[in-house]
A = this chain, B = another copy of it.
């Protein structure tokens, strides 16, 4: 089969071009050292197992939505998510899961009206660790902070305000009309073009780091907003566990490329200026097209 691939790697051609040839994103990743990566901590890793055994791994973002994440950890520890279902799959938008019957009582200790953790002050420390990718459009700057897609702009009161960005695979806490109604019991992930109009309007709590294809390939719901119309269409969730509660040998281990590293900056530049099959490099890359390198760690 002649593969008319959109992207054809040309390792031989590049090798022949010798020293001045720019490195491809893959070559930059291959040349990283262990110091260029940070681990995904087991207490920040959710293992969601669907009814058919497929696993979806979600890294939580306690640095940005601490109260929502505390709720989610508690819900996972208590086994509250076990037996809920995926109830909504809207094309080019979101997959959403929760208690479709709305009959499960929340465990003790859950904050029922968490604050609207939609943004945060960009401290000097944050600013120094921020790697800008994209100027303007939605935010003054959009880039990466501690491995997360973040935008920041000055507020009217002079404070510089940051927000997580709704890139593909980001996970948020569904809410009702009041900003403090998202407990973390109802979650969604983005499966389409980044809906950045949701930034600063709902709490992002993490992102899918493996297995998103088990969510994005689900049949689309045909009801309003992509909700499944029939109970039988709902996709069961067998369990959601914090990796830190699993036996050490069973804990999935992942690493994220450090976004304050030289390697990350070179990687972003290479993503913006692709070679090989490309005729005209774009010269730019959208914050949600960076495809931040995340890898399964080699176990010792």
What residues of chain B lie closer than 8 Å to A176, measured between beta carbons?
A: 2, 4, 8
Are A225 and B279 in contact, CB atoms less than 8 angstroms apart? no
Are B289 and A196 in contact, CB atoms less than 8 angstroms apart? yes
Docked CA distance A274–B116 (Å): 18
Determine which of B1, B96, B134, B194 lies in contact with A193 in the assembled complex, contact meaning CB atoms within 8 Å: B194
Interface string of A280-291 (1 = CB under 8 A from B): 111111101100
Interface string of A196-219 (1 = CB under 8 A from B): 111111100000000011001111
Instruction: Give the residues from 259 to 300 in chain A that come closer than 8 angstroms, CB to CB, to chain B.
Output: 271-272, 274, 276-286, 288-289
Are B217 and A213 in contact, CB atoms less than 8 angstroms apart? no
A4-B98, A10-B177 known; A289 and B197 CB under 8 Å?
Answer: yes
A137-B136, A193-B168, A217-B217 known; A225 and B6 CB under 8 Å?
Answer: yes
Determine which of B102, B136, B167 lies in contact with A2 in the assembled complex, contact meaning CB atoms within 8 Å: B102
Determine which of B118, B179, B196, B202 lies in contact with A286 in the assembled complex, contact meaning CB atoms within 8 Å: B196
| Chain B residue nearest to A231 in the complex (CB) | B1
Are A136 and B138 in contact, CB atoms less than 8 angstroms apart? no
Asked whether any CB of chain B lies closer than 8 Å to the CB of A91, the reply is: yes
What residues of chain B lie closer than 8 Å to A42, measured between beta carbons?
A: none
A101-B1, A102-B1, A137-B134 known; A197 and B282 CB under 8 Å?
Answer: yes
| Chain B residue nearest to A282 in the complex (CB) | B197
A177-B277, A197-B289, A201-B278 known; A137 and B220 CB under 8 Å?
Answer: no
Number of chain copies forming the complex: 2
What residues of chain B lie closer than 8 Å to A279, measured between beta carbons?
A: 116, 118, 179, 200-201
Number of chain A residues whose Cβ lies closer than 8 Å to a Cβ of chain B:
75
| Chain B residue nearest to A286 in the complex (CB) | B196
Q: How far is the CB of A268 from chain B (nearest CB, A)?
A: 12
Determine which of B169, B217, B284 lies in contact with A218 in the assembled complex, contact meaning CB atoms within 8 Å: B217
Residues of chain A at the chain B interface (Cβ within 8 Å): 1-8, 10, 87, 89, 91-94, 96, 98, 100-102, 116, 118, 134-138, 167-169, 174-177, 179, 181-182, 186, 188, 192-202, 212-213, 216-220, 225, 227, 271-272, 274, 276-286, 288-289
7 residue pairs, one from A and one from B, having the closest CB atoms: A4-B174, A213-B220, A197-B282, A4-B186, A2-B102, A200-B280, A91-B213
Given A91-B213, A200-B279, 4 more pairs with CB closer than 8 A: A6-B202, A7-B225, A91-B217, A193-B194
